[in-house]
Amino acid sequence: MPSGPPTSGVGRVIAGRYLLLNQLGSGGMGHVWLAHDQRLACEVALKEIVFRDPSEASAERAARVARARAEARHAAVLRGNPNVVTVHDVLEHEGLPWIVMEYVAGALDLRDLVDMRGPLAPAECARIGLAVLDALTAGHEQGIMHRDVKPANILLAPDRTGAPYARVLLADYGIAVQPDAGETRYTLTSALVGTAGYLAPERATGGPPTAAADLFSLGCTLYYAVEGVGPFERDTHLAEITAVVMEEPRKPERAGALGPVLEVMLAKDPVERITAAHAESALDHIVTPRADAYERTRTDPGSMPPWGVSEQLDGHRHVPPRAVHAPTDPAAYPPVPVPPVPRRPHALPAGLGALLGVALAGVGLWFTLGNPPGGDDGGTVQKPYGEPVGLAAPLSEGDCVIADWPGGTRFRGTPRLTVDPTCRDAPPDGQVLAVVDAASADEARAQGPARCEERTRDLREKLADVRGYAVVPAEGGFDAAGGRTACLLLGANGPVYGPLGPYREPGQAFRDTATMQKRDCLRAPSRRDAQLVPCTEAHDEQVLGFARLDVGIPFEKARDMSDAACAKDVPPTDYGFDPSVYEAGSWTSRGAWDSASHFVVCTVRKQNGGTMGGEEP
């Protein structure tokens, strides 16, 4: 058993369960320990609240304790996001709170990585930025602002394949706040909440925490990652805060294509600052400047990299992809279009269409179909989306489509679309999930893709293998399209084999795992037959997430090991299921192996094979 001096903490048992092994680090709130959970026989990280001054005012002590509880509560809300360090529990020991967290083996924070390796390549910084932005957006959607985004709070760790620094996790929600919830802002006396040099100007001058402020801090963090120094780094904290408010950031020297994105992330006025959706698009453009240039590296829990389709099911979490291997010379990157920030939310310039046509959506990109202004159609086209798309009538919500890609390569070029009114006659490639109106063709081009991204966000986060397409009216086809942009979700690697989301019917049998989504409840008469049922009814399993197996594993072997993979990557205990009652299950599809995607659907089920319903978390 580890031992040490009484004051070291090593060898102590916290709450009769957690054996402290060694100290991992320290911060303003206290120490972080590696501990052994003696009940579950696994390693966890424990955050200890430390009061260095015995005479510290009781009110200030209470504020520290409240901040610890708030961190646990806020991080627990986001526990389903793979880019947030998971919080398992908050407990009291000897009158003080301890936070029990996921132990991220082999993790290194971004600050230490830059210190060790030097500045990172622009594409690697953009990949990290996408993951952190995904975590922040998940919090913002719950009304939770992080308020302390900085290099030391971003962890980089190996993924399941061992690729170093492939996992990206945002840590330390200790000063996070929900502005609309009326909760106390836990601020230490005479101290700013946040870190000097990374605070947004409006926060440094006493303004409220906002999503835009977190985005500014992320911009400072990415600047540090690519330049090796902060944009407002000075000799003292006071000088840094002054620089944040009064001075422009240092001109970047290594940022290359990332430079224009950083510039609009670091705008002093939050109204002029780039939005999260536009920042995602611009960062993604750096990671994959051409459709066939580099592997996609988004790490979103409900938007995994591609996994395939087939009509064979087999029932038996999110694994971030490997780091991108991209040029390290900034000059190797083409210029990245960065959208101007609109002063009025409904008056976006038409020039945004070029960038928003590749706006990020789940695991894939947002593409814009239809002829751009000045195309060959010259305003005389009668087909709503232009000749390449080929449709003679506008798309409607719920339409299933077949996509014929030029040259047979998916997501390269403009596909010719055919509507399948039954969603069954042929395996559909995708479905129209929404349509968005516009007042003009210019407005449709400028705003359509971003609005499609918003309208389909929830469903994209629940599916493992879709990409978004905004089918925008062609010039001259605006009236024929009814002034509407059609928001498609297409299978990333093949057909979706049936309706998606709200267009599925209770009782329908799944032809493939491609249409299974998070929190679906399944009746499974056999291990090759799954039916969608309402979760209020008796069911056999519930979908929790997805996992990826190694590319070289054959399908037959995958069926044997998928349960174990799901138990490791998407453990039901993380979702509140009692491990003495429930176990991990899985469903596999041959199509996922035929397309080399190798994703499985992870479920929870009762160990005794009984039905679920009503009493589950």
Task: Give the separation between CA 537 and CA 333, rounded to whole angstroms.
Answer: 53
Q: Helices (H) and strands (E) in the chain — how many of each? A: 12, 23
Task: Give the separation between CA 19 and CA 13, rounded to whole angstroms.
Answer: 4
Kindly tell me the burial class for residue 41, based on how many C-beta atoms sit within 10 Å of its own C-beta (0-12, 13-18, 19 or more): exposed
What b/e sequence results for 414-451 when a residue is b if at least 16 CB atoms lie within 10 Å of its CB, and e otherwise? Answer: bbbbebbeebeeebbbbbbbbbbebeebbbbbbbbbbb
Q: DSSP per residue over 34-65, as a string?
A: EEEETTTTEEEEEEEE--S-TT--HHHHHHHH
Q: Is 292 a catalytic residue?
A: no
Kindly tell me the burial class for residue 332, based on how many C-beta atoms sit within 10 Å of its own C-beta (0-12, 13-18, 19 or more): middle
Instruction: From the candidates 134, 148, 284, 399, give the one annotated as an active-site residue.
Output: 148
Count Cβ atoms below 10 Å from residue 57 Cβ, excluding itself.
10
Residues 6+ apart with CB under 8 A from 90: 68, 69, 72, 73, 97, 98, 99, 100
Determine whether the annotation assigns residue 47 to a binding site. Answer: yes
Beta sheet of 529-533, edge-to-edge order: 313-315, 582-589, 599-606, 541-548, 521-526, 529-533
Beta bridge partners of 484: 437
Task: Give the separation between CA 601 and CA 587, rounded to whole angstroms.
Answer: 5
Catalytic residue annotation: 148
Binding residues: 47
Binding residues for ATP: 47
